[in-house]
A and B are shown apart, each in its own frame.
Chain A
Amino acid sequence: MTDRINPYRLAAATVLAAGLRRSTTALFAESSSAMFFSTNALAALTGERHPYARASMHYGSMGHAIAGAIGFCAATRQRAIVFTGDGSLHLMNPLPTALKHRLQLAIVVLNDARLSLPFRGSGSIGAKGAQSTTSLPAWDFTQVGNADVGRRRITRNAEVEAGLDEALAFNGCFVLDALTDPAVAPPIRSRLQSVNTMLGGGSGRRSATAPA
């Protein structure tokens, strides 16, 4: 067990923070391990603490939550928390737009230096070569290029609540870079089962009916 942040704990604290501020704060979860961690945490909440929560479940495009939070903030002039991964944030950087339009956007990054779902999925079928493509370079998301963007890096569980408080009290755009424990798997059993079915049986071999 490492000393890094448990993503389950980070997700639980994030959805709770959004729920406690639900008249002014919306939660957007990225279609990635962030969504699985956060839906797991949402299930544990009671109704009165349940936040306005959005995720793109079916089509599930990477970056939807980040960009969607931009739209939410612009249209309602309220605050959004985006619970996202490092892969999605690399893909779609919202900071210039959020800063220019002075949006109240808090980005909580599950930073584990990998594309977590493809890592788990390729690993589950023993595709070592494919799995090697899922690693990302270590990245410091607090190095954002403009001093007006709030930022904090947290590395331990004990820092989670203080980091979220700071992010949600900040007047403007804030990046909370959370170094999470890569050994903790998201709750994706059914997701892996569906991928195995899609690939023709789960062994990683081409199915008899699949096109050559």
Chain B
Amino acid sequence: MKDPPMATAQTPTTAPRDSLATAEHQSSRKRPTLAERQIDLIPALGDASPRAARWSGEIPHDAPACCAFGLISAASVHWFEAAVAHPRVRVVDVSLEAMGAFAAIEASIATGRPQIVICGSGPGTLGVQWAIPAARGQGASLLVLTPRTPPELAGTTQIQESSFFSLPPTVGAELFDANFILTSVLEMPRIAVALRHLFARPQGGVAQLSVPTNLLDRRCPKLLDPSALEIAPPAPGTRALARIAEWLALPGGPPAFILGGGCTGHGRELGNVIKRLGAVHLTTPGALGLLPNSLGLIGTSADADVAALLHVARPRCAFVIGTRLGTASGGNDAALLPKDCPIVHVDAEPSGSVGNAPATRTHRLLSVQSDVGEFVAALNALVVRQ
């Protein structure tokens, strides 16, 4: 039996949209608001997600990259506005908050992509929590966006969102895999990387992002390009190694290795690969003595001399292994390396890459979550093959 043609509930993405996202609305801001950034992030993360879709049947080409489920309230207007305007997000308004979360669970499991649930700031926060244990138990990836009344504005008019009866940002926190309680838009790049790691887990992840309502329309700093955040074991044939091979072939000086305490015990293997590449190598105080003749970084402004050397050497790419670039540079920025130098950051712990996010946001970044020894072995094999 052939099914009838699918009805299309959304306007095709190429056609003008009849939502509030008018051309005037789109052009009035040169940089996206925080709400727009958060909505924009999820489809991008879904593209890079290694999780397999459970649904093996047909999916039409016009299917959305992700859906945003929710029941609109005053506190969530900015998110709904951003989601409706997004060409790759399908907004599904539901009649009950938990319905949105259950819907997001099955959308995530079927497609393998993270999905969005938009909450209210009061009862709407609690309404969705009914479904969260099911999301974790079944391996879904959800980002639950929870607006909250800023404490300095609570009680302004004593009506719902502006009353004293606002919920603390930690309510129900134990139900989630991760909770991000935003206090400044500057935290978004770091949170974006943390979400990327969370959603890359084989078991998925359920995160709550609690955002003060007075920040939702603020402009947001540039996020890391999620497509540059490869999180994969460095085995032959993976996208991570393919990207490294591509960067090793770029024009420029020899690659640079910035090595931290996480490299302890891997000095010989690192020495081999560095010798084969003719690479420059620098060590943080935590890796002192790891390799002979390394340039030492001491984590202070004195490292400006090393930075000057690297800017002259113009490495074609840099490997930051077993440390954070912020720690290595002493300034929590990537000024140590020329701006056109792509960075491969290797760390066994997601928190290492997350902590590195502020330092690397001005560079192309490949974040490899791997044991240092396994990575160095794979890199050695790659260099030998080349």
CA of A171 to CA of B90 in the docked complex: distance in angstroms? 20
Is A197 part of the contact surface with B, judged by Cβ < 8 Å?
no
Least distance between B104 CB and chain A CB atoms (Å): 6
Apart from A71-B69, A75-B115, what are 17 other A-B pairs with CB-CB below 8 Å?
A: A20-B1, A26-B55, A56-B137, A59-B133, A59-B138, A61-B102, A67-B96, A67-B99, A67-B103, A68-B103, A68-B105, A69-B106, A70-B99, A71-B107, A74-B64, A76-B57, A102-B9
> When the two chains form the complex, which single residue of B58, B111, B134 contacts A75, counting CB atoms closer than 8 Å?
B111
Is A152 part of the contact surface with B, judged by Cβ < 8 Å?
no
Is B84 part of the contact surface with A, judged by Cβ < 8 Å?
no
Is A187 part of the contact surface with B, judged by Cβ < 8 Å?
no
Q: Which residues of A contact B (CB under 8 A)?
A: 20-26, 28, 52, 54, 56, 58-59, 61, 63-64, 66-72, 74-79, 92-94, 96-97, 100-104, 165, 168-172
Contacts of A20 in B (CB 8 A): 1
Contacts of B100 in A (CB 8 A): 67
> When the two chains form the complex, which single residue of B63, B105, B106, B134 contacts A77, counting CB atoms closer than 8 Å?
B63
What 0/1 readout, one digit per residue, does chain B (306-347) give for beta carbons within 8 Å of chain A?
Answer: 000000000000000000000000000000000000000000
> When the two chains form the complex, which single residue of B6, B67, B92, B131 contacts A78, counting CB atoms closer than 8 Å?
B6
Is B20 part of the contact surface with A, judged by Cβ < 8 Å?
no
Is B28 part of the contact surface with A, judged by Cβ < 8 Å?
no
Least distance between A105 CB and chain B CB atoms (Å): 11
Contacts of A72 in B (CB 8 A): 55, 103, 106-107, 110
Instruction: Across the interface, name the chain B residue whose C-beta is closest to A22.
Output: B57
CA of A25 to CA of B115 in the docked complex: distance in angstroms? 21
Q: Which residues of B contact A (CB under 8 A)?
A: 1, 3-9, 54-60, 62-64, 66-67, 69, 90, 92-96, 98-111, 113, 115, 130-131, 133-134, 137-138
**A77-B59 contact given A68-B103, A68-B105, A103-B9, CB 8 Å threshold:** yes
Instruction: Across the interface, name the chain A residue whose C-beta is closest to B10.
Output: A101
Q: Are A61 and B131 in contact (CB under 8 A)?
A: yes
> When the two chains form the complex, which single residue of B55, B93, B133 contacts A76, counting CB atoms closer than 8 Å?
B55
**A70-B103 contact given A24-B3, A26-B55, A56-B138, CB 8 Å threshold:** yes
Least distance between B278 CB and chain A CB atoms (Å): 49
> When the two chains form the complex, which single residue of A68, A75, A78, A92 contacts B90, counting CB atoms closer than 8 Å?
A75
CA of A77 to CA of B61 in the docked complex: distance in angstroms? 10
Q: Are A75 and B57 in contact (CB under 8 A)?
A: no
**A23-B58 contact given A68-B103, A172-B7, CB 8 Å threshold:** yes
Q: Are A102 and B8 in contact (CB under 8 A)?
A: yes
| Subset of 24 A-B contacts with CB under 8 Å | A23-B58, A24-B3, A26-B57, A52-B54, A56-B134, A59-B133, A63-B98, A64-B131, A68-B102, A68-B106, A70-B99, A71-B67, A71-B92, A71-B102, A71-B103, A71-B110, A72-B110, A74-B67, A75-B111, A76-B57, A76-B63, A77-B62, A78-B57, A96-B95
Q: Are B3 and A52 in contact (CB under 8 A)?
A: no
Least distance between B285 CB and chain A CB atoms (Å): 49
Least distance between B67 CB and chain A CB atoms (Å): 5
Contacts of A22 in B (CB 8 A): 57
